[in-house]
């Protein structure tokens, strides 16, 4: 589903160069639920951004669905992100000036084709139902708890029915009860066929996934299949 | 997407209130200025209806001499003037000749229509002296001096108002609704007669025959092109000797026109300059606000990119947002502006306001678009990963 081949990522700012990732080879199969762990600053988000086509590697290639996308132009990348990938972030990234329903609809607005207002609305309502927030559709993000916000973000990630979900510390800002709720939703989505890559700091969350990749200082230092879940 | 932008702007209305007021205010100022300019230039496009080049006005002040005594002297002056080879034509007129500072007007009611009418008391040579085109009928001549019903020449504008647009006027009677004995017979129709020049509106005028006792105290003279001050001095000295004790003063219509025009042009230029500064100010403010808001909204930009927005759709969003905001302001502005024609505030043609509305709306959209273009390009080039990383 996603392949990272010989990836190196260097961040260059005016004064410093940071080697965020080096020599990464990682293949994610369709239907897998992969967790990525590692200390802060080791390159987890960078890795996820490369998989999500939000950034370009300094060296190496990224394949999504068997196609090398490294040379793709902005429009094609945007279309791939829109149709194939759903993002979930630690800080939710909801737009505070839009209602829950309007937030969830956003990915559909960037979809070419004949999606009408009512049809978008229906899909958004379905997605919110899926995360158990049917009764909060008219609310605004600042009227919600952290767990509810993250559920909105999940609804937004799945509204376009992507095959891949990339979650960057989705439970990082939540207490364990809310974290478990989110984890249950993600597991359900995975059961229904979504490929999920999740960055986490929480061993108990990681243990519920199929496969655990460990990063340290920009390099992969572990890649293990968790047999009990697979 | 448009609905999405409307929702976004609507939900942020408090943040945008100031910007909205700013756009609204600049629209209203722009509307005022363009109305004024359009009004003036529409008038300008209409011919003045006479020729002012090489026309001189000699004003005659005969002190406390009775009018009946001064009248034959005035006639003699006219004949003397006509005797100069440099003079082509001459006519006796009331003091409200073109570009003079005097007017004579009233608001009579004819045929149920009440409107402003300018009155001129002039002699049979007036039209010829000022090269006025008689469209219909004729100018009066010496033969019809003492008719029972006074004979008048009127402008086309008056016929249009009283008898309907394009209706013939010659032969018709003008009867004052308030005083049925006050009747005049129309014997001729002229085109425009814009006493104050190009920028003044078309007016309804009645030209009466100058009588012996009225205040016809100006001698209009058409001279050969190139007639100089030396001739003028000579002529005025000779005329002065004919009417000792009178005060004669000459002025050139072309010069008077220039000073009249300043009355219109100077305020127009001042308004234009002030509103240009205002618009530049608003544009800079808008530009600044957009720049700041784009910096503040990097996270949102990164998010939208992650959800599938192309660079193009990000910059379109920012331009679109400002259009939506401008639209809100313009709808309010148009409602306010529409009151001018609806309540007929300044007695201007509604089409002047309508044109001004269209022009102002277009200018506002143009300005906001130009202001949004650069910031929105900037927004589009933000790397999504970088933008998300910063939050
Ligand atoms: N946009 C960026 N510009 C410069 N340096 C960055 C950028 N994003 C990440 N980095 C650096 O790259 C390294 C890896 O960052 P990141 O992938 O965010 O780590 P993690 O998510 O594991 O905490 C860090 O040293 C970080 O400071
Ligand atoms: Mg991170």
DSSP A49-67: HHHTTSS--SEEEEEETTE
pLDDT tens for A130-167 read 999 999 999 999 999 999 999 999 999 999 999 999 99
Q: Which domain range does residue A136 map to?
A: 2-225
Between CA B117 and CA B140 the distance in angstroms is 20
- Whether residue A104 contacts residue A159, with contact meaning beta carbons closer than 8 Å, is answered with yes
CB contact under 8 A, A117 and B12: no
Between CA B194 and CA B204 the distance in angstroms is 9
Residue A80 inside a domain? The answer is yes
Chain B residues whose C-beta is within 8 A of a chain A C-beta are 1, 3-4, 7-8, 11-12, 299-300, 302-313, 383-386, 388-389, 391
Residue A230 inside a domain? The answer is no
pLDDT tens for B218-256 read 999 999 998 988 999 999 999 999 998 899 999 999 999
> A20 CB under 6 A from ligand 1?
yes
A55 CA from centroid of ligand 1 (Å)? 12
pLDDT tens for B305-352 read 999 999 999 999 989 988 999 999 999 999 999 998 888 778 788 899
> A218 CB under 6 A from ligand 1?
no
CB atoms within 10 A of CB B63: 8
Q: What is the pLDDT of residue B67?
A: 85
Residue among A41, A54, A200, A221 to mutate when testing ligand 1 (max atoms within 8 A of CB):
A41
Test mutation, A58, A79, A89, A109, chain B, max B CBs within 10 A: A109
- What is the model's pTM? 0.78
B15 CA from centroid of ligand 1 (Å)? 33
Average pLDDT over residues B55-63: 92
Q: Which of B7, B306, B391 sits opposite A98 (nearest CB)?
A: B7
Minimal CA–CA distance to B289: which of B360, B374, B380? B374
- Whether residue B363 contacts residue B23, with contact meaning beta carbons closer than 8 Å, is answered with no
Which residue has the CA at smallest separation from atom 20 of ligand 1? A41
Residue A173 inside a domain? The answer is yes
- Residue B288 confidence class, pLDDT cut points 50, 70, 90: confident
Please name which ligand lies nearest the alpha carbon of A37.
1
Q: What is the pLDDT of residue B390?
A: 64
> A158 CB under 6 A from ligand 1?
no
Q: What is the pLDDT of residue B348?
A: 81
Between CA B26 and CA A127 the distance in angstroms is 44
Average pLDDT over residues B64-77: 89
What CATH number corresponds to the domain at position A123?
Answer: 3.40.50.300
Helix residue ranges, H only, A85-169: 100-109, 117-130, 146-158
Residue A218 pLDDT > 90: yes
Between CA A98 and CA B10 the distance in angstroms is 10
Minimal CA–CA distance to B232: which of B209, B211, B255? B255
Test mutation, B299, B307, B381, B388, chain A, max A CBs within 10 A: B307
> B389 CB under 6 A from ligand 1?
yes
Predicted ipTM of the assembly:
0.93
Q: Which of B308, B311, B384 sits opposite A79 (nearest CB)?
A: B308
Q: Which residue has the tokens 């976004």?
A: B8
Between CA B242 and CA B145 the distance in angstroms is 27
The structural domain count of chain A equals: 1
Task: List chain B residues with CB under 8 Å of A107.
Answer: 307-308
A39 CA from centroid of ligand 2 (Å)? 9
Minimal CA–CA distance to B333: which of B10, B24, B7? B24
Residue among A9, A11, A168 to mutate when testing ligand 1 (max atoms within 8 A of CB):
A11
Residue A116 inside a domain? The answer is yes
Q: Which atom of ligand 1 is nearest to the CA of A215?
A: 22
pLDDT tens for A28-85 read 999 999 999 999 999 999 999 999 999 999 999 999 988 899 888 989 999 999 999 9
Which residue has the CA at smallest separation from atom 3 of ligand 1? A11
Minimal CA–CA distance to B32: which of B282, B353, B370, B391? B353
Tally of CA atoms within 13 A in the half-sphere of B33 that contains its CB: 25
> A13 CB under 6 A from ligand 1?
yes
A43 CA from centroid of ligand 2 (Å)? 7
CB pairs under 8 A between A and B: 78
């Amino acid at each position: 589903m996603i392949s990272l081949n010989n990836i190196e990522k260097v961040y260059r700012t005016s004064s410093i160069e940071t080697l965020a990732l080096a020599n990464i080879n990682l293949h994610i199969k369709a239907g897998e639920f992969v967790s990525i762990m590692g200390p802060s600053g080791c390159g987890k988000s960078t890795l996820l951004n490369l998989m999500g086509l939000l950034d370009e590697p300094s060296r190496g290639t990224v394949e999504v669905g068997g196609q090398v996308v490294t040379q793709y132009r902005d429009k094609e990348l945007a279309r791939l992100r829109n149709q194939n990938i759903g993002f979930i972030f630690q800080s939710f990234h909801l737009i505070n000036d839009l209602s829950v329903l309007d937030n969830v609809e956003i990915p559909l607005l960037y979809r070419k084709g004949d999606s009408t207002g009512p049809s978008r609305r229906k899909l958004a309502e379905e997605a919110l139902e899926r995360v158990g927030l049917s009764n909060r559709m008219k609310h605004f993000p600042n009227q919600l708890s952290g767990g509810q916000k993250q559920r909105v973000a999940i609804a937004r990630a799945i509204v376009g029915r992507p095959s891949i979900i990339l979650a960057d510390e989705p439970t990082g800002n939540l207490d364990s009860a809310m974290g478990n709720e989110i984890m249950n939703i993600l597991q359900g989505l995975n059961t229904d066929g979504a490929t999920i890559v999740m960055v986490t700091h929480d061993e108990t969350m990681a243990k519920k996934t199929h496969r655990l990749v460990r990063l340290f200082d920009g390099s992969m230092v572990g890649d293990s299949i968790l047999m009990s879940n697979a | 997407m448009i609905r999405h932008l409307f929702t976004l702007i609507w939900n942020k209305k408090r943040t945008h209130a100031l910007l909205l007021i700013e756009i609204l205010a600049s629209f209203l100022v722009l509307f005022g200025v363009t109305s004024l300019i359009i009004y003036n230039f529409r008038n300008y496009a209409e011919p003045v209806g006479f020729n002012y080049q090489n026309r001189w006005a000699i004003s005659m002040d005969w002190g406390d001499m009775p009018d009946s005594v001064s009248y034959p002297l005035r006639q003699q002056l006219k004949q003397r003037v006509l005797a100069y080879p440099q003079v082509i034509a001459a006519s006796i007129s009331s003091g409200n000749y073109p570009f003079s500072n005097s007017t004579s007007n009233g608001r009579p009611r004819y045929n149920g229509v009440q409107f402003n009418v300018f009155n001129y008391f002039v002699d049979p040579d007036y039209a010829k002296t000022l090269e006025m085109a008689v469209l219909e009928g004729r100018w009066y001549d010496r033969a019809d001096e003492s008719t029972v019903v006074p004979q008048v020449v009127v402008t086309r504008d008056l016929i249009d108002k009283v008898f309907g647009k394009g209706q013939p006027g010659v032969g018709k009677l003008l009867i004052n609704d308030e005083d049925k004995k006050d009747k005049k017979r129309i014997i001729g129709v002229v085109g425009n007669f814009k006493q104050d020049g190009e920028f003044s509106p078309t007016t309804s005028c009645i030209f009466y025959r100058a009588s012996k006792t009225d205040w016809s105290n100006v001698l209009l003279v058409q001279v050969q092109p190139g007639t100089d001050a030396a001739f003028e001095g000579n002529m005025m000295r000779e005329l002065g000797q004919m009417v000792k004790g009178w005060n004669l003063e000459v002025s050139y219509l072309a010069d008077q026109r220039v000073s009249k025009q300043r009355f219109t042009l100077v305020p127009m230029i001042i308004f234009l300059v002030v509103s240009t500064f205002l618009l530049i100010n608003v544009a800079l403010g808008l530009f600044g606000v957009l720049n700041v808001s784009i910096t503040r909204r990097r996270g949102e930009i990164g998010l939208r990119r992650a959800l599938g927005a192309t660079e193009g759709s990000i910059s379109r969003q920012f331009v679109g947002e400002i259009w939506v905001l401008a639209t809100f302001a313009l709808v309010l502005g148009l409602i306010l502006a529409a009151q001018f024609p609806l309540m007929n505030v300044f007695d201007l043609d509604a089409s002047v306001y309508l044109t001004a509305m269209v022009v102002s709306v277009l200018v506002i959209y143009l300005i906001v678009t130009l202001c949004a273009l650069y910031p929105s390009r900037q927004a589009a080039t933000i790397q999504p990963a970088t933008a998300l990383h910063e939050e």
